[in-house]
Structures are given as structure tokens and as C-alpha cells.
Structure 1
Amino acid sequence: MINRHTHPEIFQGQLKHQHYFEGWYLKHTSTSSKESIAFIPGVSLNPDNSHAFIQVIQSHPVRTYYFTYPLESFHTTDVPFSLTIGDSFFSLTETRIDITDGNHHFKGQLYYDNLTPIDRTLFTPNIMGFFSYIPKMACKHGVMSMHHHVNGTLTDASGHTLTFKDDYGYIEKDWGHSFPEKYIWSQANHFPKKQASLMVSVATIPLLRTSFIGHLCNLHIDGKEYRFATYNGSKITKLKITDKHLFLILTKKQWRLEINAWLDDAKELKAPLNGAMTDTIKEGLGGKLDFKLYHHNQLIHADSSLYAGIEVVKMANINVD
């Protein structure tokens, strides 16, 4: 039987659940079109309005769309992983999109190869480390590919064709009943100097009757991984956040990672609250992200991306020094 902790891509829930959501996030960037587009297929289970959905966010400028489907249109397989909603199909090797609400239509086919999974051990079966084993957390997170190639074409809601030729993609997901009350998240994998990919999240994590600020950060540079996380002894030594800017320093022993991210444009996405997609967050998909990695105070690598996804939810004006 497949291990759900080490394979977060497979459906983690059951359709009989109440107050539950699960959503996959597949991001693609077309450098020839200078646009990014992410598809978020998922399921919302609640007593009032259980349904499947495909959410779309595209930039630049940022536009968002939410397409709903009857629950019966949601189908998944474990080996190999696949997800079908309506006439659209998602897997770790391709995405076939055909979604419409009568006013907006997305159609195309994208192929993935050379996926970059994160390093895994028994202690860290996925990006959440040992927290992956804790049941009934409000929200769990998984990363399937930090970086991979994307090829294909896609027609967007305006009738414009996006062409992907050896471009880059990223795949992650969330599941549980609600997003954290406060969090920041950013991801980028278009860096000009080296093949690099970075994802980072800082959030308030409820645990028993209290909560704490936890963080996850994974950085890939030319095939080597650098992990900074609450569970492996990493510390937040500086955190400054506004509505438009994030400055974060993470340290782990002799390693230091500095991240600067700027959110230039954002639009609302639907988000889960007790399983229902009734909350809203704002995400930008064309922000700027800079990072610097140091070892023993010596700069190892610095790079910058203009295609960063960024979310800041109720964390503005929080400083940690």
C-alpha cells in the first residue's frame, strides 16, 4: 500500500469527510509570454456546499477565476497519481485543461519532465517533517516538485495563447479544514544565474490549546537542497513584513539565508474555512524575490527572480528581531 506521508500528491482525505478541503497547486511560467499561470484543482467538503473546483490565477496583470463542479466529477487514482475534475486532468507528468463557465474558457495541454522532489527521510517524510505524522492538524502542506520543465500550449480566458518551451513549473498542495489564521508564503524557480528553486512559508500553527510561529523553507541550487525549518533547528532571526514587502533571515548552525520579496500586484483567491471555500486571501504571481545564501558568513550564492508567487495573510507589520 502506498505511503501517504511520502506521497502527498495522492488524495489524503475521503469524500465522506465533512469540514475538509484538499487542493493541489500547479504553477507554470512562460518566459516567452512573460506570464505565469497556476491551476488549483481541489475539493471542498462541508454540510452546506460540497463541491469540486478548479481555481486559476494568472499574471501579469493578476487575474483570478473560480470554477465549480459537482462532487461526482472529482476522481483520483493513487498509482500512478492522477486527478480528474470535469474535462480537466492533472498528474505529475501532464496537465490537460478544458474549463469554462460560459464566460471564461481555458484550454490546453502541458507536459512535465525532470521533476525535482524534495529530500525525504523517515523523520522528514515530506516538507512538514515530523509534523506530517500529527493527526487532525488544521492544515498540512506537501511539496511534490520544486522544479521541472514544462512544454506545451495553453489558451487563456482572453483567447491569448501561452507557449511553454523548456519553461519551469512547481507543484505543491494543502489539505485539512482551514488555512492558518496568519501566514506568509512565497515561491520562485526562475533564477538567471543557476538552476534554483525556493519556497518559504511562515505561519501561526495551532497546537492543542496554544499556537506557535512555525516556518518551512526549501532551497534547491543545482541539485543540492538546503532546508530551513522549525523541526530541524532552524531559527527566524529577523522577520519584517508589510502589505507589499517581506524581509526574512533564517539561520541553521553555520548557514544563513536572507530573503527579500516584493508583492507588486495581487488579486483575491478563495480559501478554506472549516472545509468551505468561503474565506479569501490575496496572492500575487509576478512578484520579485531575492535571496542570499551564506555559510560561515561567506556568500555562497545570490540570485533574483521576477516570477515569484507571494501571499501575505494578516501578517503585515509583524516584526521579529
Structure 2
Amino acid sequence: ELGYGPFTPVRKDIMGPFRLFAGMQCAHGILSMGHSLEGSLVLNGERLDFTGGTGYVETDRGRSFPSAYLWTQCAWPGPEGGSLMLAVAGVPLPLGSFTGCICAVIHRGREYRLATYRGARIEAWSPSGAVIRQGRYRLDVELLEEGGQSLRAPVEGSMERTIHESLRAKVRYRFWRGETLLFQHVDPGASFEYSDGVEGPGRDQP
């Protein structure tokens, strides 16, 4: 039995004008970048206490996950606490496609939005992380350790795809404004997921 504190949504739809694209495979949404937790659950006889933790809630709506994408999320408490979510994905169009990103960063009570529709550039993205730059701001994400678990995912409305997601990855996040490092955070309980759409060991397996 778990209880959630007040949600903290982002100011506007994280998808921005992307939500109007008729050909989008998946529409992402953020319900809460961070909220308090209270209560516990019992898993295989072991009691897991979530009291004092920080919650995060998002949504995905659509018929398919993008073929290639990266997603990561973390939230941490304290005076230097914060929360962030980054997604990079291939976006199909009627003619061709492009790679876009959406990102929300909460730091010291301020929301930063990095997104393709705001001029963000994806300087690098791979199974080991990503680098996103928008004007003076730069976000570096570096995967240090992972432990992915297999999950079913949709393909044209049917749960016929297997992806691998880690909810206990160790990830380093660094966020700059110009030459000033606003924060550096290494999280041993971050979420991280990467897919290049290629079959094989450790990759997607339809």
C-alpha cells in the first residue's frame, strides 16, 4: 500500500508541437517530476519500504515504441536535489525521418526545458549515454553501470517486442550553463533504456 504526495508536473506538455504530428508512434507525457512517497509493498515475502523516497510518474500513449531511442530518468532529494528526464528517439515522417529529443531538468526549483522544438542539438547518443546542447546549456549523461531487465513493448498495438530497461543503473549527469557547472550527480538508482532496433544478444528481441 503506497501513498503519493502532491505531484509536480512540468509547466507545459513535454512534447510541445510534436504532439500535433499525425505520424508519431508514441506520445510521451510527464505527470510528476517528483513527489513524496509513503508506505511499503511486499515482494516474495520481503517488505520494501518506500517511505521518504521520491516518486516520478510518466505516460506513453501510442501503438509502437520508436525503433531506436534512449530514455533516462532520475530524481534525488536534498538541498541540491533535482529531477530530470531525457528521451532521444527517431521520429518517422511521411517522407523520411529525423532524430529528436525532449528533456526536462528541475534544479533548485527551476525548470529547464531542452528539446528539438526549442533548438536543442543532439551532439552524441549511444548505449553509453548522450550529450544535448541548447544555447548556453549542455547536458551530459554517462552510463556507468547497468542491469537491464526484459520488458514487453508494443509494435503496431501488439506487445510483440522485447526491450531491456534498467531501473537500477548507475548514471552520471552533468548540467552546464556556459562554463558553469550547475550540478553533477551520480545516481546508483537511475533509470536507463537504450534501443537501436537491432536484434541480437543484449539488444531488442522481437
What is the TM-score when the length of structure 1 is the normalising length?
0.59
Percent identical among aligned pairs is 33
Please show how residues 90-239 of structure 1 align to structure 2 within 5 Å.
Answer: 109-120=1-12, 126-156=13-43, 158-190=44-76, 194-239=80-125
Please show how residues 303-314 of structure 1 align to structure 2 within 5 Å.
Answer: 303-314=185-196
CA deviation string 1:67-103 (max 9, x = no partner): xxxxxxxxxxxxxxxxxxxxxxxxxxxxxxxxxxxxx
Matched, 1:254 2:164: no
Instruction: Give the Å deviation of 1:221.
Output: 1.0
Q: Secondary structure at the match of 1:117?
A: coil
Tell me which residue corresponds to 1:281: 163
Contact between 2:67 and 2:197, CA under 8 Å: does it hold in 1?
A: no
How far apart in 1 are the matches of 2:77 and 2:51? 16
Matched, 1:269 2:151: yes
- CA change 1:315–1:137 in 2 (3 A) is closer
Contact between 2:54 and 2:77, CA under 8 Å: does it hold in 1?
A: no
How far apart in 2 are the matches of 1:193 and 1:285? 24
How far apart in 1 are the matches of 2:197 and 2:86? 14
Contact between 2:23 and 2:94, CA under 8 Å: does it hold in 1?
A: no
- Give the root-mean-square deviation of aligned CA atoms: 1.7
CA deviation string 1:172-193 (max 9, x = no partner): 0111111001111111113666
How far apart in 2 are the matches of 1:315 and 1:118? 30
How far apart in 1 are the matches of 2:197 and 2:76? 26
How far apart in 1 are the matches of 2:7 and 2:48? 21
CA deviation string 1:126-163 (max 9, x = no partner): 1111111233521111111011111011011x111111
Tell me which residue corresponds to 1:301: 183
- CA change 1:202–1:128 in 2 (3 A) is same
Letter in 2 for 1:302: Q
Instruction: Give the Å deviation of 1:261.
Output: 2.1
Tell me which residue corresponds to 2:202: none
Instruction: Give the Å deviation of 1:252.
Output: 1.3
Tell me which residue corresponds to 1:38: none
How far apart in 1 are the matches of 2:77 and 2:119? 27
Q: Secondary structure at the match of 2:51?
A: strand
What is the TM-score when the length of structure 2 is the normalising length?
0.90
Instruction: Give the Å deviation of 1:294.
Output: 1.4
- CA change 1:267–1:130 in 2 (3 A) is same
Q: Secondary structure at the match of 1:174?
A: strand
Contact between 2:149 and 2:164, CA under 8 Å: does it hold in 1?
A: yes
- CA change 1:214–1:263 in 2 (3 A) is farther
Letter in 1 for 2:102: L
Contact between 1:216 and 1:230, CA under 8 Å: does it hold in 2?
A: yes
